[in-house]
Amino acid sequence: MSVYEHPDFDSHENVLFATDEASGLKAILAVHSTARGPAVGGCRMWTYASSTDALTDVLRLSQGMSFKNVMADLPIGGGKSVIMKPDGEFDRKALFEAFGRALNALNGEYMSAEDVGTSPADIQHAHRITQHVVGLPGGTGDPSPVTAKGVYLGIEASVERALGKSSLAGVKIAVQGATGHVGEYLVRRLAKAGAELFLADIREPELKALAGDVGAVIVEDPDAIYDVEADVFTPCALGAIINPSTIDRLKVKVVAGAANNQLQTREMGAELQKRGILYAPDYVINAGGIINVMGDIDPKFDSVWVEGKLVTLKATLGEIFDLADKEGRPANIVADEIARRRLQRAADAKGHDEAA
């Protein structure tokens, strides 16, 4: 397994491989950038086929957090961690305490929150050992409703741009992962706005209940969500779902959703553009959760501040679309470049301060 040569290494500042034989912990903690402050990002626990897969995931996610945090103009850097889920039964408390020790080894360079496969209770176990966590029970709470609100605003902006509609009433939206934490809040908002919804999830009973509640169409085979004739495809489940085997199935004008790393490769952005599909860069529109978590870092980041940031998120998306339009380039590439420029400016300023 190569690290420095890894295609996603992208000059990470620090990558820590942590193991603890007693608890079975195998974790990778990746700090992409601390140019704007301590890196913040969730800890994902997943059954990875290999440590190479875990490394690829954490590097991509960690860079994504840097881009997300800088595009939302937050005073934090970007990082992420992954735990390779132990086989069979394991002691969660011991595992996350060991994870807490790994966090301490980074001396506050990185602060972890929950993510896919982990919960605030897990983070609380880590908190017995370390201060370097956010998103504890009793703190700002579940970030999903705020993420959903940001995604909702992003869908509005994208629909206005691609379809010239200032309202979502009657707009056909296909949601993947409809009953998830973000998915359900989002679906309820979209339904309230009068959108015509097509919902897919692998959790059938929850899907049936939600669709019944909001009067949506159920997409029986979750994989058929890519074929739905709609205006918008809203991925809220998995990463890498825009790839060579799905892209030609899409019959939409917009891809805008909560999932991280929706494009399997950056080139997929150009492929969407070629097909006349507007892509709302994931890390721009799904920043609501991290914006909300800022309240755990400093109480001055209160709910009024959060609301303001969500409005800014929509404006930032508009600026990306403007530039992409003007230059005839894919929105994801334009967003990446803005994020990189901002990170470089912050790194230069930090270097300057440290040298002074």
Applying CB under 6 A, the residues found at the interface with ligand NAD are 116, 143-144, 147, 176-177, 179-183, 200-203, 222, 236-238, 258-260, 286, 289
Query: Which residue's CB is nearer to ligand NAD, number 98 or number 285?
Result: 285
Per-position DSSP letters for 70-116, written without gaps between them: HHTT-S-EEEEEEEEPPSS---HHHHHHHHHHHHHHTTTSEEEEE-T
**Those residues with Cβ within 8 angstroms of residue 277's Cβ, 6 or more apart along the chain or in another chain:** 250, 252, 253, 254, 255
CA 171, 173, 175: angle at the middle one, nearest 5? 165
Query: Which residue's CB is nearer to ligand NAD, number 5 or number 221?
Result: 221
Q: Minimum Å distance from CB 175 to ligand NAD?
A: 9
**Cα atoms in the 13 Å half-sphere on the side-chain side of 211:** 21
Q: Minimum Å distance from CB 185 to ligand NAD?
A: 9
Query: Which residue's CB is nearer to ligand NAD, number 23 or number 292?
Result: 292
Q: Which residues pair with 151 in a beta bridge?
A: none
Is residue 93 part of the annotated active site? The answer reads: no
Query: Which residue is at the shortest CB distance from ligand NAD?
Result: 180
Query: Which residue's CB is nearer to ligand NAD, number 78 or number 143?
Result: 143
Q: Minimum Å distance from CB 42 to ligand NAD?
A: 8
Query: Which residue's CB is nearer to ligand NAD, number 89 or number 220?
Result: 220
**Environment class of 26 (CB within 10 Å of its CB; exposed 0-12, middle 13-18, buried 19+):** buried
CA distances to 65, 189, 251, 266, 342 from 74, rounded to whole Å, are 11, 26, 35, 24, 11
Query: Which residue's CB is nearer to ligand NAD, number 23 or number 286?
Result: 286
Amino acid 31 reads V
Catalytic residue among 68, 80, 149, 253: 80
Find, among 323, 324, 311, 310, the residue nearest to 277 by Cα. Answer: 324
**Those residues with Cβ within 8 angstroms of residue 347's Cβ, 6 or more apart along the chain or in another chain:** 33, 35
Amino acid 50 reads S
Query: Which residue's CB is nearer to ligand NAD, number 220 or number 229?
Result: 220
Q: Minimum Å distance from CB 208 to ligand NAD?
A: 13
Q: Minimum Å distance from CB 213 to ligand NAD?
A: 15
Q: Minimum Å distance from CB 166 to ligand NAD?
A: 26
Per-position DSSP letters for 275-317, written without gaps between them: TT-EE--HHHHTTHHHHHHHHHH-TTS-HHHHHHHHHHHHHHH
**Those residues with Cβ within 8 angstroms of residue 334's Cβ, 6 or more apart along the chain or in another chain:** 320, 323, 324, 327
For residue 348, what is the DSSP state?
A: H
Q: Minimum Å distance from CB 121 to ligand NAD?
A: 15
Q: Which residues pair with 283 in a beta bridge?
A: none
Indicate which residues carry an active-site annotation.
80
